[in-house]
């Protein structure tokens, strides 16, 4: 196994660049509902030209609330997964243990961060937005897969977060500043998580047979298909939330268009952008040679 990252380096960065939830939201730090929350490359609401600009902005903000919910949801199963990974080795290498514990503490902080933003959103948006769940049932289903399959998914999520910020968010000056700050601060810590997840996936793979490694790539794809079913449901819920928030009823054709565009946007945001990340593919291919080519044939459906 090739390892390009070290626990020492990650730990040292974690100690130097820390931030608190209250630095990002609360008090004077409010969401500005006159602005979009997500870049359009993720929300894809500007393509709905049959809606007014104001309605497209509301659709974008509903997508923003969904982003907060989805990240809260995935962090809730990442946290116990990381703790389970480090628990058998608590007496070993100090830096390794400390870096995974700091990873877990940061994910616990992120859960709180997304929840606080969600409260702020719910307080200002005016109507309730439906979200898929319950989170613990979804988490249990994901965690029922082989740890190597789960670690590939977690690695996908970490690289995906970075891609969202670097490719879409950092140069977008139209976004709500608080939401942008959330995405930037989350990215700052996910950079380190991606490195630790690479080390974690490689450590788990080192204990696995070739057959288990091959099966874990299939398991990763099965989790992806399961989550995609949830994204489809979320797209339907977003259409309901849109009508409730704007009072704009959708004809059957318009609703189909809304749901299809939203589902594909969610597929890119949560599946395609992670699965196609070069660093993720490189690790998947080290886990099981040939995995990258296999995954690249799946990616177009999620773009």
Sign of CA dihedral 38, 39, 43, 46: positive
Is the Cβ of residue 107 or residue 212 nearer to Fe ion in the bound state?
A: 107
Is the Cβ of residue 51 or residue 79 nearer to Fe ion in the bound state?
A: 79
Segment lying near Fe ion (by CB under 5 A), choices 4-12, 86-94, 105-113, 141-149: 105-113
Query: Buried b / exposed e across 169-178, counting CB within 10 Å, b at 16+?
Result: beeeeebbeb
Is the Cβ of residue 43 or residue 73 nearer to Fe ion in the bound state?
A: 73
For residue 69, state whether it binds Fe ion (rule: CB under 5 A).
no
Site for Fe ion in 33-52 (CB under 5 A): none
**How near is the Cβ of 147 to Fe ion at its closest, in Å?**
17
- Residues in a beta bridge with 29: 26
- The phi, psi pair for 181, rounded to 5°, reads -65, -40
Tokens representing 178?
Answer: 């608080």
Measure Cα distances from 106 to 16, 31, 110, 179 in Å: 14, 23, 6, 18
User: What mask of x and - would describe binding to Fe ion in positions 162 to 191, judged by CB under 5 A?
Assistant: ----------------------------x-
Is the Cβ of residue 58 or residue 194 nearer to Fe ion in the bound state?
A: 194
3-state secondary structure (DSSP) of residue 29: strand
**How near is the Cβ of 75 to Fe ion at its closest, in Å?**
5
**How near is the Cβ of 186 to Fe ion at its closest, in Å?**
6
Q: To 10 degrees, the CA torsion angle through 79, 85, 87, 91?
A: -130
**How near is the Cβ of 185 to Fe ion at its closest, in Å?**
10
CB contact at 8 A, 5 and 198: yes
Binding residue for Fe ion (CB under 5 A) from 56, 85, 110, 164? Answer: 110
**Phi-psi category of 290—alpha, beta or left, where left has phi over 0 and alpha has psi -120 to 50?**
left
**How near is the Cβ of 126 to Fe ion at its closest, in Å?**
28
**Orientation of helix 53-86 relative to helix 177-206, angle to 10°:** 30
Is the Cβ of residue 190 or residue 202 nearer to Fe ion in the bound state?
A: 190
Site for Fe ion in 186-225 (CB under 5 A): 190, 193
3-state secondary structure (DSSP) of residue 26: strand
**How near is the Cβ of 58 to Fe ion at its closest, in Å?**
27
By CB under 5 A, name the binding residues for Fe ion: 110, 190, 193
């Amino acid at each position: 196994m090739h390892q390009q990252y070290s626990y020492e380096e990650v730990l040292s960065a974690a100690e130097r660049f820390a931030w608190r939830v209250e630095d990002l939201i609360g008090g004077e730090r409010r969401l500005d509902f006159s602005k979009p929350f997500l870049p359009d490359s993720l929300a894809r609401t500007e393509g709905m030209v049959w809606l007014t600009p104001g309605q497209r902005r509301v659709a974008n903000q509903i997508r923003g609330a969904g982003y907060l919910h989805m990240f809260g949801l995935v962090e809730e199963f990442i946290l116990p997964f990381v703790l389970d990974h480090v628990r058998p080795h608590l007496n070993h290498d100090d830096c390794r243990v400390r870096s995974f514990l700091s990873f877990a503490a940061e994910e616990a902080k992120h859960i709180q961060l997304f929840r606080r933003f969600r409260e702020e959103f719910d307080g200002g948006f005016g109507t309730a937005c439906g979200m898929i769940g319950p989170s613990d049932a979804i988490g249990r289903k994901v965690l029922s897969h082989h740890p190597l399959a789960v670690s590939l998914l977690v690695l996908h999520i970490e690289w995906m977060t970075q891609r969202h910020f670097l490719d879409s968010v950092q140069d977008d000056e139209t976004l709500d500043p608080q939401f942008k700050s959330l995405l930037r601060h989350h990215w700052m810590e996910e950079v380190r998580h991606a490195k630790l997840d690479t080390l974690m996936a490689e450590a788990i793979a080192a204990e696995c047979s070739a057959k288990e490694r091959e099966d874990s790539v299939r398991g990763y794809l099965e989790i992806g298909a399961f989550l995609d079913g949830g994204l489809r449901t979320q797209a339907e819920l977003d259409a309901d939330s849109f009508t409730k928030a704007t009072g704009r009823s959708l004809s059957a054709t318009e609703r189909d268009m809304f749901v299809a565009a939203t589902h594909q946007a969610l597929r890119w945001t949560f599946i395609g952008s992670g699965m196609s990340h070069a660093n993720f593919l490189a690790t998947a291919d080290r886990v099981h040679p040939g995995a990258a080519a296999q995954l690249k044939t799946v990616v177009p459906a999620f773009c």
